[in-house]
Amino acid sequence: MKLPRRTLLSTAAALAAGTSLARAQAPLTAEPWSIPAPPTGSPADELRIHTDWAQLQQYRADDVRVRALPAAERRVVFLGDSITRGWMVFHPEFFTGNGFIDRGISGQTTPQMLVRFRQDVIQLAPEAVHLMGGTNDIAENTGPFDVEATKNNFMSMVELARTHRIRIVLGAIPPAASFPWRAVPDPVAKIRALNDWIRAYANQNGFVFADYVTLLGDGAGAMKPGLSYDGVHPTRAGYLAMESIATAAIGEALARNG
C-alpha cells in the first residue's frame, strides 16, 4: 500500500514536534507550517481542491502578522512545496534566527506557487525570495507533467520578483529516485533535466543558484542514506546540511544590486 505524500510529511512533522498527529491537528491557532495537510483523495482534500486550489488560505492570516514585522525579521521568503515546509518543521531556528519566512505547502506544484506568489511573497516585501519547486510537477500532482509549462511558471515568478526588486535564489530540486505516493516514468532523468535548465536560467540572468544536488545526491539520482526519510523529503540532518548552501546563496543574492 502506497502512503499519500501528505501523510508522509504529516507523520514526519508530528515526529519532529514530538507530538501525535491528532494533537498536531487540534489547535486552531497552530502555525500554518505545523498543520498536517489532509491526505490526498480524502473528502477534506477534495473540498480544498474545489474551494481553494492554490491554498491561499494556508498562510493568509499569518501573512498579516508577517507584514507587521520589522524588515529584518522578514528578509527572505522561502516559497515551495513540502520540502520547503518540512524545513521549518525540522529546524525552525534557521528561519526565526535569520529573518527568514517559510511559505512551503505540501503537495504544491509550480502553477499553485505562481498563484500564491503575490500574497505569500510580494506583499511581504522581502529583500529576497528562495524559490524551490518542481518535484510535484514531475510527480504529476495536479496533472500530466509539461516541462515547458513548469519553466514558464518559474519565469513568471522570477519576473514578478524582479518587477518588485526582490532578489532571487533558485534552489535545485533535491534528488529522488522515485515518489512514494505515485509511480511516474523516469523521475531521475526529469529532475536532472529540469535542474539543468534552472541552473542555466539562473546563470544566464544573473540569479543565484543553490545547488543542493551535489550535497544530497548519491550520484545515481537518489538521496544519500540518512539525509531523507522517504527518498524525497530531507531529514533534519539533510536540512542542516542544506543550510550552509542556502545561507551562502542568500548572502550572495543580497550582496548584488537589484
- Res 237: pLDDT: 98
User: What radius of gyration, in Å, describes the C-alpha atoms of the chain?
Assistant: 17
pLDDT band at 180 (very low <50, low <70, confident <90, very high): very high
The mean pLDDT value for 168-190 works out to 97
Is the pLDDT confidence value at 220 over 90?
Answer: yes
- Res 51: pLDDT: 84
The cell for 121 is: 511573497
pLDDT per position as a tens digit, 51-99: 888 999 999 999 999 999 999 999 999 999 999 999 999 999 999 999 9
How far is 51 from 5, CA to CA, in rounded Å?
A: 21
* Cβ pair 77, 124 in contact under 8 A: yes
- The pTM (predicted TM-score) of the whole model is 0.86
Domains of the chain plus CATH, in order, are 5-255 (3.40.50.1110)
